[in-house]
Structure 1
Amino acid sequence: MRRWTFRCFGLVEAEVSWAWEEFLKLPCVEITSDVHCVTRWSKLDNRWEGVPIREIMKHVRVKPQAAAVMVHSEAGYTTNIALEDLIDDDVLLAIKHNGRDLEPDHGGPCRLVVPKLYFWKSAKWVRAFEFLDVNAPGFWEVNGYHMHADPWKEERYSAQETRAMQQMRAEALRKLRDR
Protein backbone atom coordinates (compact mmCIF):
# COMPACT_ATOMS: atom_id res chain seq x y z
CA MET A 1 0.00 0.00 0.00
CA ARG A 2 3.00 2.28 0.21
CA ARG A 3 2.56 3.24 -3.44
CA TRP A 4 -1.23 3.69 -3.48
CA THR A 5 -2.39 7.27 -3.83
CA PHE A 6 -5.71 8.85 -4.65
CA ARG A 7 -5.86 12.26 -6.29
CA CYS A 8 -8.41 14.78 -7.49
CA PHE A 9 -7.40 16.97 -10.43
CA GLY A 10 -8.76 18.75 -13.48
CA LEU A 11 -11.30 21.51 -12.90
CA VAL A 12 -10.31 22.09 -9.27
CA GLU A 13 -8.71 25.13 -7.63
CA ALA A 14 -5.78 22.98 -6.47
CA GLU A 15 -4.98 19.31 -6.98
CA VAL A 16 -5.48 17.21 -3.85
CA SER A 17 -3.99 13.79 -3.15
CA TRP A 18 -3.85 11.29 -0.34
CA ALA A 19 -1.38 8.52 0.37
CA TRP A 20 -2.92 5.30 1.72
CA GLU A 21 -2.11 6.13 5.36
CA GLU A 22 -3.66 9.61 4.99
CA PHE A 23 -6.71 8.21 3.22
CA LEU A 24 -7.37 5.77 6.08
CA LYS A 25 -7.53 8.70 8.52
CA LEU A 26 -10.54 10.21 6.72
CA PRO A 27 -13.95 9.59 8.34
CA CYS A 28 -15.63 6.37 7.18
CA VAL A 29 -19.25 5.31 6.97
CA GLU A 30 -21.03 2.04 6.35
CA ILE A 31 -23.83 1.64 3.83
CA THR A 32 -25.92 -1.30 2.70
CA SER A 33 -26.81 -1.43 -0.97
CA ASP A 34 -27.68 -3.78 -3.77
CA VAL A 35 -25.37 -4.45 -6.72
CA HIS A 36 -26.89 -4.58 -10.20
CA CYS A 37 -24.69 -5.87 -13.00
CA VAL A 38 -25.32 -4.97 -16.63
CA THR A 39 -25.31 -8.72 -17.40
CA ARG A 40 -28.61 -9.04 -15.51
CA TRP A 41 -27.58 -10.40 -12.13
CA SER A 42 -27.97 -8.68 -8.78
CA LYS A 43 -26.57 -9.22 -5.31
CA LEU A 44 -28.68 -7.80 -2.50
CA ASP A 45 -27.73 -6.30 0.86
CA ASN A 46 -24.01 -5.65 0.41
CA ARG A 47 -22.35 -3.88 3.34
CA TRP A 48 -19.72 -1.40 2.21
CA GLU A 49 -17.42 0.63 4.43
CA GLY A 50 -15.35 3.53 3.21
CA VAL A 51 -14.88 7.24 2.79
CA PRO A 52 -18.02 9.03 1.59
CA ILE A 53 -17.57 11.15 -1.52
CA ARG A 54 -19.06 14.08 0.38
CA GLU A 55 -16.03 13.85 2.70
CA ILE A 56 -13.66 13.88 -0.28
CA MET A 57 -15.52 16.91 -1.66
CA LYS A 58 -14.85 18.85 1.57
CA HIS A 59 -11.16 18.81 0.60
CA VAL A 60 -11.59 19.58 -3.11
CA ARG A 61 -12.56 23.01 -4.38
CA VAL A 62 -14.28 22.14 -7.64
CA LYS A 63 -14.53 24.88 -10.24
CA PRO A 64 -18.10 25.88 -11.17
CA GLN A 65 -17.84 24.64 -14.76
CA ALA A 66 -17.18 21.04 -13.63
CA ALA A 67 -20.09 18.84 -14.72
CA ALA A 68 -18.68 15.32 -14.55
CA VAL A 69 -15.88 13.17 -13.25
CA MET A 70 -13.72 10.73 -15.14
CA VAL A 71 -12.82 8.00 -12.68
CA HIS A 72 -9.30 6.69 -13.31
CA SER A 73 -8.29 3.23 -12.14
CA GLU A 74 -5.33 0.90 -12.47
CA ALA A 75 -4.31 -0.27 -15.96
CA GLY A 76 -5.90 2.74 -17.64
CA TYR A 77 -9.54 1.82 -16.92
CA THR A 78 -11.90 4.79 -16.82
CA THR A 79 -15.59 5.42 -16.32
CA ASN A 80 -17.56 8.66 -16.43
CA ILE A 81 -20.02 9.84 -13.82
CA ALA A 82 -22.08 13.03 -13.78
CA LEU A 83 -21.09 15.15 -10.80
CA GLU A 84 -24.68 15.13 -9.52
CA ASP A 85 -24.60 11.30 -9.34
CA LEU A 86 -21.17 11.21 -7.70
CA ILE A 87 -22.11 13.45 -4.78
CA ASP A 88 -25.13 11.43 -3.63
CA ASP A 89 -25.13 10.66 0.10
CA ASP A 90 -24.57 6.93 -0.39
CA VAL A 91 -21.61 7.08 -2.80
CA LEU A 92 -18.26 6.18 -1.31
CA LEU A 93 -14.73 4.98 -1.88
CA ALA A 94 -15.01 1.54 -0.31
CA ILE A 95 -12.20 -0.22 1.49
CA LYS A 96 -14.32 -3.00 3.02
CA HIS A 97 -17.09 -5.27 1.79
CA ASN A 98 -19.25 -7.24 4.24
CA GLY A 99 -16.83 -6.48 7.07
CA ARG A 100 -13.64 -7.58 5.29
CA ASP A 101 -10.92 -5.64 3.53
CA LEU A 102 -11.56 -5.53 -0.21
CA GLU A 103 -9.64 -8.27 -1.99
CA PRO A 104 -7.78 -7.25 -5.16
CA ASP A 105 -10.17 -9.34 -7.30
CA HIS A 106 -13.02 -7.18 -6.04
CA GLY A 107 -11.28 -3.84 -6.45
CA GLY A 108 -9.08 -3.64 -3.37
CA PRO A 109 -7.63 -1.75 -1.86
CA CYS A 110 -10.22 0.85 -2.89
CA ARG A 111 -13.20 0.85 -5.23
CA LEU A 112 -15.87 3.38 -5.98
CA VAL A 113 -19.41 2.36 -4.99
CA VAL A 114 -22.29 4.16 -6.73
CA PRO A 115 -25.37 2.19 -5.61
CA LYS A 116 -27.92 3.79 -7.94
CA LEU A 117 -25.99 2.96 -11.14
CA TYR A 118 -25.03 -0.28 -12.84
CA PHE A 119 -21.98 -1.81 -11.21
CA TRP A 120 -19.50 -1.03 -14.02
CA LYS A 121 -19.71 2.57 -12.77
CA SER A 122 -18.44 1.35 -9.37
CA ALA A 123 -14.90 1.18 -10.67
CA LYS A 124 -12.35 -1.15 -9.11
CA TRP A 125 -8.79 -0.11 -8.14
CA VAL A 126 -9.63 3.60 -8.12
CA ARG A 127 -6.70 6.01 -8.21
CA ALA A 128 -8.09 9.41 -9.27
CA PHE A 129 -11.04 11.65 -10.05
CA GLU A 130 -10.60 14.03 -12.97
CA PHE A 131 -13.17 16.83 -12.85
CA LEU A 132 -14.33 17.79 -16.36
CA ASP A 133 -16.65 20.32 -17.98
CA VAL A 134 -18.02 17.57 -20.24
CA ASN A 135 -19.37 14.13 -19.46
CA ALA A 136 -16.86 12.27 -21.61
CA PRO A 137 -17.26 8.52 -22.16
CA GLY A 138 -15.00 6.13 -20.25
CA PHE A 139 -13.79 2.67 -21.30
CA TRP A 140 -17.11 0.80 -21.46
CA GLU A 141 -19.01 3.86 -22.67
CA VAL A 142 -16.66 4.19 -25.66
CA ASN A 143 -17.33 0.51 -26.31
CA GLY A 144 -21.11 0.86 -26.52
CA TYR A 145 -22.34 0.98 -22.93
CA HIS A 146 -24.80 3.64 -21.80
CA MET A 147 -23.41 6.98 -20.60
CA HIS A 148 -25.58 7.08 -17.46
CA ALA A 149 -26.34 3.45 -16.45
CA ASP A 150 -29.51 3.63 -14.35
CA PRO A 151 -30.57 0.01 -13.68
CA TRP A 152 -34.20 1.02 -13.00
CA LYS A 153 -34.39 2.47 -16.51
CA GLU A 154 -32.45 -0.49 -17.99
CA GLU A 155 -29.79 1.90 -19.32
CA ARG A 156 -27.37 -0.78 -20.51
CA TYR A 157 -26.23 0.11 -24.01
CA SER A 158 -25.68 3.29 -26.00
CA ALA A 159 -28.43 2.37 -28.49
CA GLN A 160 -30.88 3.07 -25.64
CA GLU A 161 -29.61 6.62 -25.15
CA THR A 162 -31.83 9.58 -25.94
CA ARG A 163 -30.87 11.86 -28.83
CA ALA A 164 -29.75 14.49 -26.29
CA MET A 165 -27.45 12.00 -24.57
CA GLN A 166 -25.98 10.87 -27.90
CA GLN A 167 -25.32 14.53 -28.77
CA MET A 168 -23.69 15.05 -25.36
CA ARG A 169 -21.44 12.03 -25.99
CA ALA A 170 -20.38 13.34 -29.42
CA GLU A 171 -19.81 16.88 -28.13
CA ALA A 172 -17.69 15.63 -25.23
CA LEU A 173 -15.50 13.59 -27.57
CA ARG A 174 -15.08 16.61 -29.89
CA LYS A 175 -14.10 18.88 -27.00
CA LEU A 176 -11.57 16.41 -25.67
CA ARG A 177 -10.01 15.93 -29.12
CA ASP A 178 -9.72 19.71 -29.57
CA ARG A 179 -7.81 20.26 -26.31
Structure 2
Amino acid sequence: MTLPPGQRAVEGFPRFGTHLHHPPPAVPADHALEFGGALTEGFRLSLAELAALPHRELRADFHCVAGWSATDLRWEGVPFGDLYRTRIEPLLAPGAVISHVIFEGLDHFQSIVALEDALNADVLLADRLDGRPLDSDHGDPVRLVSPGQYGFMNTKHLARIEFRTTEPPNPDRWSPIAGHARARVWSEERHRYLPGRAVRPVYRWLIAPIRTLSARGSRTGGR
Protein backbone atom coordinates (compact mmCIF):
# COMPACT_ATOMS: atom_id res chain seq x y z
CA MET A 1 0.00 0.00 0.00
CA THR A 2 1.39 3.38 -1.05
CA LEU A 3 0.33 6.41 0.97
CA PRO A 4 0.90 10.10 0.19
CA PRO A 5 3.98 11.79 1.67
CA GLY A 6 3.95 12.02 5.46
CA GLN A 7 0.87 9.81 5.99
CA ARG A 8 0.56 6.74 8.27
CA ALA A 9 -2.25 4.17 8.16
CA VAL A 10 -4.43 3.76 11.26
CA GLU A 11 -6.93 1.13 12.33
CA GLY A 12 -10.54 2.06 11.65
CA PHE A 13 -11.80 5.52 10.85
CA PRO A 14 -11.49 7.92 13.81
CA ARG A 15 -14.00 10.66 14.40
CA PHE A 16 -12.33 14.00 13.81
CA GLY A 17 -13.89 17.38 13.18
CA THR A 18 -14.52 20.88 14.38
CA HIS A 19 -16.93 19.67 17.06
CA LEU A 20 -14.21 18.04 19.15
CA HIS A 21 -15.97 17.05 22.37
CA HIS A 22 -19.36 18.39 21.19
CA PRO A 23 -21.89 15.99 19.65
CA PRO A 24 -22.55 16.19 15.90
CA PRO A 25 -25.33 18.56 14.82
CA ALA A 26 -28.92 17.33 14.75
CA VAL A 27 -30.34 16.72 11.28
CA PRO A 28 -33.74 18.38 10.67
CA ALA A 29 -36.54 16.03 9.66
CA ASP A 30 -37.07 18.02 6.45
CA HIS A 31 -33.35 18.44 5.70
CA ALA A 32 -32.48 19.41 2.13
CA LEU A 33 -29.32 20.56 0.39
CA GLU A 34 -29.48 24.21 -0.66
CA PHE A 35 -27.69 25.39 -3.80
CA GLY A 36 -26.99 29.08 -4.38
CA GLY A 37 -24.44 31.74 -5.19
CA ALA A 38 -23.77 32.80 -8.78
CA LEU A 39 -26.82 31.05 -10.19
CA THR A 40 -29.81 32.56 -11.97
CA GLU A 41 -31.93 30.91 -9.28
CA GLY A 42 -31.17 28.81 -6.23
CA PHE A 43 -32.77 25.46 -5.55
CA ARG A 44 -33.05 22.72 -2.94
CA LEU A 45 -32.63 18.98 -3.18
CA SER A 46 -34.35 16.88 -0.55
CA LEU A 47 -32.55 13.81 0.73
CA ALA A 48 -35.03 11.65 -1.17
CA GLU A 49 -34.30 13.53 -4.39
CA LEU A 50 -30.58 13.22 -3.82
CA ALA A 51 -30.91 9.49 -3.13
CA ALA A 52 -32.79 9.07 -6.43
CA LEU A 53 -29.94 10.52 -8.50
CA PRO A 54 -27.44 8.12 -10.13
CA HIS A 55 -24.90 6.94 -7.57
CA ARG A 56 -21.50 5.35 -7.90
CA GLU A 57 -19.33 3.36 -5.52
CA LEU A 58 -15.80 4.50 -4.76
CA ARG A 59 -13.02 2.75 -2.84
CA ALA A 60 -10.61 5.34 -1.51
CA ASP A 61 -8.39 6.26 1.41
CA PHE A 62 -9.15 9.22 3.67
CA HIS A 63 -6.16 11.37 4.58
CA CYS A 64 -6.19 13.68 7.60
CA VAL A 65 -3.92 16.72 7.45
CA ALA A 66 -2.55 15.64 10.86
CA GLY A 67 -0.86 12.67 9.19
CA TRP A 68 -3.14 9.64 9.64
CA SER A 69 -4.94 7.78 6.86
CA ALA A 70 -7.99 5.52 7.04
CA THR A 71 -7.56 3.07 4.18
CA ASP A 72 -9.82 1.21 1.76
CA LEU A 73 -13.09 2.92 2.64
CA ARG A 74 -16.09 2.14 0.44
CA TRP A 75 -18.12 5.26 -0.25
CA GLU A 76 -21.34 5.58 -2.24
CA GLY A 77 -22.80 8.81 -3.48
CA VAL A 78 -23.62 11.20 -6.30
CA PRO A 79 -20.61 12.25 -8.42
CA PHE A 80 -20.29 15.98 -7.90
CA GLY A 81 -19.16 16.51 -11.50
CA ASP A 82 -22.34 14.89 -12.84
CA LEU A 83 -24.51 17.06 -10.60
CA TYR A 84 -22.61 20.17 -11.67
CA ARG A 85 -23.03 19.47 -15.37
CA THR A 86 -26.70 18.50 -15.20
CA ARG A 87 -28.09 20.85 -12.53
CA ILE A 88 -25.66 23.76 -12.08
CA GLU A 89 -24.38 24.63 -15.56
CA PRO A 90 -27.91 25.22 -16.94
CA LEU A 91 -28.45 27.81 -14.17
CA LEU A 92 -25.31 29.85 -14.84
CA ALA A 93 -25.77 33.31 -16.30
CA PRO A 94 -24.28 33.79 -19.78
CA GLY A 95 -20.57 34.43 -19.42
CA ALA A 96 -20.42 33.46 -15.75
CA VAL A 97 -17.29 31.44 -14.94
CA ILE A 98 -17.35 29.59 -11.61
CA SER A 99 -13.97 29.43 -9.90
CA HIS A 100 -14.76 28.15 -6.37
CA VAL A 101 -17.37 26.17 -4.49
CA ILE A 102 -18.24 26.69 -0.82
CA PHE A 103 -19.42 23.56 0.99
CA GLU A 104 -21.12 24.33 4.32
CA GLY A 105 -22.24 21.87 6.98
CA LEU A 106 -24.99 21.96 9.57
CA ASP A 107 -22.28 22.84 12.09
CA HIS A 108 -21.47 25.94 9.96
CA PHE A 109 -18.03 24.60 9.04
CA GLN A 110 -17.07 25.63 5.51
CA SER A 111 -14.55 24.41 2.99
CA ILE A 112 -13.68 26.52 -0.04
CA VAL A 113 -12.77 24.26 -2.95
CA ALA A 114 -11.41 25.30 -6.34
CA LEU A 115 -13.86 24.18 -9.00
CA GLU A 116 -11.20 22.19 -10.86
CA ASP A 117 -10.62 20.14 -7.68
CA ALA A 118 -14.34 19.70 -7.03
CA LEU A 119 -14.83 18.35 -10.56
CA ASN A 120 -12.32 15.53 -10.17
CA ALA A 121 -13.88 12.20 -11.11
CA ASP A 122 -13.55 10.77 -7.59
CA VAL A 123 -15.39 13.60 -5.77
CA LEU A 124 -18.76 12.53 -4.34
CA LEU A 125 -21.65 13.86 -2.36
CA ALA A 126 -21.61 10.67 -0.30
CA ASP A 127 -24.52 9.27 1.70
CA ARG A 128 -23.23 5.76 2.42
CA LEU A 129 -20.03 4.29 3.87
CA ASP A 130 -19.11 0.60 3.76
CA GLY A 131 -22.64 -0.36 2.70
CA ARG A 132 -24.47 1.62 5.41
CA PRO A 133 -25.96 5.11 5.62
CA LEU A 134 -23.50 7.61 7.06
CA ASP A 135 -23.57 7.76 10.83
CA SER A 136 -23.44 10.98 12.84
CA ASP A 137 -19.69 10.67 13.47
CA HIS A 138 -18.84 10.63 9.78
CA GLY A 139 -21.14 13.26 8.33
CA ASP A 140 -24.74 12.14 8.12
CA PRO A 141 -26.87 12.56 6.16
CA VAL A 142 -24.49 13.53 3.33
CA ARG A 143 -20.89 14.74 3.13
CA LEU A 144 -18.31 15.79 0.61
CA VAL A 145 -15.74 13.12 -0.22
CA SER A 146 -12.68 14.39 -2.09
CA PRO A 147 -9.97 11.71 -1.69
CA GLY A 148 -7.28 13.80 -3.33
CA GLN A 149 -7.57 16.51 -0.67
CA TYR A 150 -6.94 16.46 3.07
CA GLY A 151 -9.85 15.75 5.35
CA PHE A 152 -10.55 19.36 6.31
CA MET A 153 -11.83 19.93 2.77
CA ASN A 154 -14.28 17.02 3.09
CA THR A 155 -17.13 18.91 4.78
CA LYS A 156 -19.51 16.78 6.84
CA HIS A 157 -23.28 17.15 7.42
CA LEU A 158 -23.72 19.10 4.18
CA ALA A 159 -26.40 21.80 4.26
CA ARG A 160 -25.50 24.31 1.53
CA ILE A 161 -23.36 24.43 -1.61
CA GLU A 162 -22.58 27.85 -3.04
CA PHE A 163 -20.92 28.71 -6.34
CA ARG A 164 -18.63 31.73 -6.69
CA THR A 165 -16.93 33.47 -9.61
CA THR A 166 -14.01 34.64 -7.44
CA GLU A 167 -12.20 33.07 -4.51
CA PRO A 168 -14.03 33.96 -1.27
CA PRO A 169 -11.98 35.27 1.68
CA ASN A 170 -10.99 32.49 4.07
CA PRO A 171 -11.70 33.49 7.70
CA ASP A 172 -8.99 31.14 8.98
CA ARG A 173 -6.20 32.33 6.68
CA TRP A 174 -4.16 33.80 9.57
CA SER A 175 -4.66 30.89 11.95
CA PRO A 176 -1.41 29.22 13.13
CA ILE A 177 -2.64 26.04 11.44
CA ALA A 178 -4.25 27.72 8.43
CA GLY A 179 -5.07 25.04 5.90
CA HIS A 180 -3.72 25.19 2.36
CA ALA A 181 -6.13 26.62 -0.20
CA ARG A 182 -5.87 23.48 -2.40
CA ALA A 183 -4.94 20.85 0.23
CA ARG A 184 -3.84 18.27 -2.33
CA VAL A 185 -2.46 15.25 -0.49
CA TRP A 186 0.06 14.07 -3.09
CA SER A 187 1.63 17.54 -3.15
CA GLU A 188 1.58 17.61 0.69
CA GLU A 189 -0.23 20.93 0.76
CA ARG A 190 -0.96 20.94 4.50
CA HIS A 191 -0.38 24.55 5.55
CA ARG A 192 -1.25 27.76 3.73
CA TYR A 193 2.22 29.25 4.16
CA LEU A 194 4.65 26.59 5.43
CA PRO A 195 6.00 23.50 3.65
CA GLY A 196 4.09 20.34 4.51
CA ARG A 197 7.18 18.56 5.79
CA ALA A 198 7.86 21.42 8.22
CA VAL A 199 4.49 21.15 9.98
CA ARG A 200 4.32 17.34 10.17
CA PRO A 201 5.71 17.09 13.75
CA VAL A 202 3.30 19.71 15.11
CA TYR A 203 0.26 18.18 13.45
CA ARG A 204 1.18 14.66 14.57
CA TRP A 205 1.50 15.85 18.16
CA LEU A 206 -2.10 17.04 17.93
CA ILE A 207 -3.54 13.67 16.80
CA ALA A 208 -3.88 12.04 20.22
CA PRO A 209 -5.53 14.95 22.10
CA ILE A 210 -7.87 15.78 19.22
CA ARG A 211 -8.87 12.13 18.82
CA THR A 212 -9.62 11.88 22.56
CA LEU A 213 -11.72 15.05 22.56
CA SER A 214 -13.57 14.08 19.38
CA ALA A 215 -14.47 10.66 20.80
CA ARG A 216 -16.15 12.32 23.79
CA GLY A 217 -18.69 13.90 21.45
CA SER A 218 -19.40 10.72 19.52
CA ARG A 219 -22.98 9.49 19.36
CA THR A 220 -22.14 6.12 17.89
CA GLY A 221 -18.75 5.19 19.28
CA GLY A 222 -17.20 5.36 15.79
CA ARG A 223 -16.39 2.55 13.39
TM-score by length of 1: 0.83
In the other structure, the counterpart of 2:186 is 152
1:116–1:150 CA contact under 8 A, matched in 2: yes
Q: 1:97 aligns with which of 129, 132, 138?
A: 129
In the other structure, the counterpart of 2:69 is 42
In the other structure, the counterpart of 1:9 is 36
Distance (whole Å) between structure 2 residues aligned to residue 49 and residue 138 of structure 1: 30
The total of aligned residue pairs comes to 161
Change (3 A) 1:51 1:141: farther
Change (3 A) 1:19 1:145: same
Distance (whole Å) between structure 2 residues aligned to residue 107 and residue 142 of structure 1: 27
Distance (whole Å) between structure 2 residues aligned to residue 121 and residue 31 of structure 1: 18
Change (3 A) 1:133 1:160: farther
Q: Please tell me whether residue 119 in structure 1 is matched to residue 119 in structure 2.
A: no
Residue identity opposite 1:60 in structure 2? I
Say which structure is richer in helix.
1
Distance (whole Å) between structure 1 residues aligned to residue 115 and residue 174 of structure 2: 19
SS in 1 for 2:117: helix
Q: CA deviation at 1:138?
A: 4.6
Runs of 4+ in 1 over 4 A off after TM superposition: 137-142
Q: CA deviation at 1:149?
A: 0.3
Residue identity opposite 2:87 in structure 1? H
Say which structure is richer in strand.
1
When Rg is computed on C-alpha atoms for both structures, the one with the higher figure is 2
Change (3 A) 1:141 1:110: farther
- Structure 2 stretches lacking a partner, 5+ long: 1-27, 196-223
Change (3 A) 1:23 1:36: same
Deviations 1:41-99 (A, max 9, x none): 01111110011112321111334322001111112110100011111111111111111
Distance (whole Å) between structure 1 residues aligned to residue 181 and residue 167 of structure 2: 8
What's the C-alpha RMSD, in Å, of the aligned pairs?
Answer: 1.7
2:107–2:157 CA contact under 8 A, matched in 1: no
Distance (whole Å) between structure 2 residues aligned to residue 99 and residue 135 of structure 1: 36
Residue identity opposite 1:68 in structure 2? H
Distance (whole Å) between structure 1 residues aligned to residue 118 and residue 136 of structure 2: 23
Q: CA deviation at 1:15?
A: 1.2
- Structure 1 stretches lacking a partner, 5+ long: 162-179
